[in-house]
Structures are given as C-alpha cells and as structure tokens.
C-alpha cells in the first residue's frame, strides 16, 4: 500500500507544481482576462499531454508485465525440401500475435549445421539485419521487417527462407522451440531424391529447451510416403523443443 501511495505521489508531484505556478501567475495578472484564458488553455494542453503520457506508460508497463515476449506464436509450419542430396530449401511460417502497442519487426532465431551460411530471404517481410555466430551454442538471428507496423493484438504471418548447397553436410533434422501456447507445429520434409524403395521412418523427439545437455527423447515416428515425411504436432508443451530427425 505504501509503495502504491508513493508511486501516486510521484505522478501527482508535477501536477501540483504546475498548479502552484499557475496560481502564482494568475495572482499577478488577475485583471487581464485574455492572459488568464491563455494560461488556462496552456494548462489544459499540458495536463492532457501529461495524462496521455502517463496512461500510455501505464498500459505499456502492464502489457510488458503480462507478456514478457513482444508476441505470441499460434501456429508453426516448417517445410524442408531437398531435390538432391546437396541442394535444399527450408521454409518457416509462423502465425504470430502482437503483444506490444506497436511492433515493427520480428527476430527469427535459427542455427544451420552446415559449414557455409545459408542464403536467407522472406516472401512476406524484408530482411533488415542478419547476425551469424561461429559459436555452435549461439543462435543466428535474422530480423524481418513488416511492410506495415503491427498494433496490439494484430496478427501476421512471418516467413523465413533459407537455401543451401551443402545439405549433405547438415544434421538431417528440423526443429521448433515452444515458448508460447502454440496450437500446431506442422513438419513437412520432402526428400525427392530418395528412391521408391526408401522406407526408413523419421523420428519425432523432444527435450527441455533450457537443458540442452539432456538427451532427446523419442515420442513418435512417421513413415516415408510419396517422397516426404509429414507430421502434425498438436498442442506442444511450453518450454520444450521438438524435432523431426531422419537418415541422409
């Protein structure tokens, strides 16, 4: 209670000071009506601006407290397509909901396991910045800028694309980290160079995201059909990472 009163006092202090200054000015010019009207008008404008500023600050602080991340992810679609053993295209689509008063861009984190950096792009956003790290434990980041800013509770489809020509040197897997209440993660892995007799299953695994030393635990498997693996992961658990792993 004491902290609340102190915070209220902090905000009321400037208003009290302005009111004191106003009364002091008016006491010296009490006969000039035009002057008094101008002072009152200025007081109303200043008070309105300060009130709006306090309201925006309070709402923004409440939003950040309720939503530590500036967005929620509702749906993830991951597609990995490989025409040959070496050339592959990775597409990642996310359906996000803005949880800030205004949001201009989205940071997509990833880690490619090949020696060469992938060629990154987006069909829906503009690549604003790329950040790559040689440390295997540090994620790479691509900043995707929206064509128009998002406002609180606006939704958007975010797209990230990566293309490589050394896919045979990559770890054969795709993964998703679950930080928010996500309804579906849809994995599609197309291996078009595989022969008709190829019938090895892909493995669906998971582990705690904040405990990378823990082993991946198998939770399901999926058969190879029509040159692809496809798996719908429904309501994945928050705080876990999920991946589909297959043989080269």
For the residues 6-14, what does the mean pLDDT come to?
50
pTM: 0.78
Give the pLDDT band of residue 95 (cuts 50, 70, 90). Answer: very high
pLDDT by residue (tens digit) across 175-196? 999 998 999 999 999 999 998 8
More confident residue, 78 or 55: 78
- What is the spatial distance between Cα 180 and Cα 162, in angstroms, rounded to a whole number? 24
Domain boundary assignment for the chain:
2-66, 71-245
Strand partners, 105: 145
**CATH number, domain 71-245:** 2.60.40
**β-pair type (184-191, 71-82):** parallel
Structure tokens at 114: 């090949």
Q: Given a cut of 60, is residue 30 above it in pLDDT?
A: no
For the residues 77-103, what does the mean pLDDT come to?
95
More confident residue, 19 or 210: 210
Q: Given a cut of 50, is residue 238 above it in pLDDT?
A: yes
pLDDT at 146: 97
**26-53 b/e with 16+ CB inside 10 Å = b?**
eeeeeeeeeeeeebeeebeeeeeeeeee
pLDDT at 47: 73
More confident residue, 244 or 197: 244
pLDDT at 213: 73
Q: How far apart are the first and last CA of the chain?
A: 63
For the residues 71-97, what does the mean pLDDT come to?
95
pLDDT at 5: 42
């Amino acid at each position: 209670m004491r902290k609340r009163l102190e915070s209220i006092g902090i905000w009321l202090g400037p208003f009290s000071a302005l009111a004191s200054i106003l009364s002091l000015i008016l006491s010296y010019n009490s006969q000039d009506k035009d002057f008094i009207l101008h002072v009152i008008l200025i007081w109303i404008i200043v008070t309105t601006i300060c009130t709006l500023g306090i309201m925006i600050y309070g709402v923004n602080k409440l939003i950040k407290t309720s939503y530590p991340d500036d967005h929620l992810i509702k749906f993830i679609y991951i597609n990995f397509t490989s025409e040959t053993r070496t050339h592959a295209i990775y597409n990642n689509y996310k359906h996000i909901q803005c949880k800030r008063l205004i949001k201009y861009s989205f940071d997509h984190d990833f880690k490619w396991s090949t020696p060469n950096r992938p060629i990154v792009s987006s069909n829906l956003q503009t690549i604003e910045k790329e950040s790559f790290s040689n440390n295997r434990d540090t994620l790479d980041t691509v900043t995707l800028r929206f064509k128009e800013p998002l406002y609180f509770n606006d939704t958007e489809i975010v797209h990230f694309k990566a293309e490589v020509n050394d896919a045979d040197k990559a770890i054969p897997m795709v993964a998703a980290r679950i930080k928010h209440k996500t309804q579906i993660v849809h994995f599609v892995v197309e291996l078009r160079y595989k022969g008709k007799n190829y019938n090895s299953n892909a493995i669906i695994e998971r582990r705690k995201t904040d405990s990378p030393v823990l082993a991946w635990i198998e939770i399901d498997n999926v058969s190879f059909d029509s040159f692809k693996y496809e798996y719908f992961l429904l309501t994945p658990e928050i705080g876990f990472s999920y991946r589909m792993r297959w043989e080269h």
